[in-house]
Amino acid sequence: MSGGADVRVSEAVRTFAMPGGVPVEVLRGLTLHVAAGESVAVTGPSGSGKTTLLQLIGALDRPDSGEIRVNGRDLANLDERARCVFRNREVGFVFQSHHLLPQLTALENVLVPAWGADAAEERADRARALLERVDLADRCGHFPGQLSGGERQRVAVARALVMGPCLVLADEPTGALDRRNAGELMDLLLELNREEHATLVVVTHDEACAQRLGRRVSIRDGRVMDGNEKGQDDERC
């Protein structure tokens, strides 16, 4: 990985049709800049647009208007194949639910993003190293049903990192974990941010986790209310 991703969201609008056809504007001209290598916590009440913002930045969705630029490229103008390549090679997703495939071992789950990619053996070596890094070296051959909730989430983090992404997007990654496992997960994400310079954007309701990231962005009613509050990496989740 050559460095982190510079993310610029400009006047992004996203509207969804609710039951009955009633339109709901989730993002209302949201503007945000996350510099390459930053770690940012995105906070705000439920329904404020946090997850929608993450989906736009990760090219899982498109804005109705406005721009989403990552390292200068407007994601809305990429065709579907280019968007798939971007998601696979440059973005690592970590969700509250681990979404592991139950029929695959821990190692095989980590390698899912590398299916069809070049340098398969190199990717396998990185997958094993990542599992060792999250203290799961002895669980490579275990299936998700044989792992604890914290272990499954650590496998999911390793999977998100296996392609060496320049951008890591985490949506409530500690929400289903106890305090100890949540702290260890944040340790890993922050190590990645420092050592590999990946840009890290974390949506969270967890105050302790938000404080550990470099900056906090507060969203309310589809707009950024405060994007300058500094966090501190001085306490565990």
- How is 12-34 classified by DSSP, letter by letter? EEEEEEPTTS-EEEEEEEEEEEE
% helix, strand, coil for the chain, step of 5:
35, 25, 35
Q: Is the pLDDT of residue 134 over 90?
A: no
CA dist 7 and 34 (Å) reads 5
CA dist 61 and 141 (Å) reads 34
Q: What is the pLDDT of residue 234?
A: 42
Neighbour-count burial for 148-178, b at 16+ CB within 10 Å, e otherwise: eebbbbbbbbbbbbbbebbbbbbbbbbbbbe
Amino acid at position 193, single letter: N
- How is 200-222 classified by DSSP, letter by letter? EEEE-S-HHHHHHSSEEEEEETT
Q: What is the pLDDT of residue 235?
A: 43
Per-residue pLDDT tens digits for 20-53: 778 889 999 999 999 999 999 999 998 899 999 9
Residue 165 structure tokens = 């992404």
Q: Is the pLDDT of residue 185 over 90?
A: no
Residues in the chain: 237
Q: What is the pLDDT of residue 8?
A: 97
Q: What is the pLDDT of residue 117?
A: 64
Per-residue pLDDT tens digits for 59-115: 999 999 999 999 999 998 899 999 999 998 899 999 878 889 999 999 999 999 888
Assign 118 a pLDDT band (cuts: 50, 70, 90).
low
CB neighbourhood size of 74 (10 A): 13
Q: What is the pTM of this model?
A: 0.89
- Out of 43-57, 61-75, 115-129, 197-211, least confident range: 115-129
Q: Is the pLDDT of residue 2 over 60?
A: no
Assign 133 a pLDDT band (cuts: 50, 70, 90).
confident
Residue 87 structure tokens = 């998601």
- The proportion of the chain whose per-residue pLDDT surpasses 90, expressed as a percent, equals 60
Q: What is the pLDDT of residue 228?
A: 55
Indicate left, alpha or beta for 221 from its phi (over 0: left) and psi (-120 to 50: alpha). Answer: left
CA dist 22 and 224 (Å) reads 24
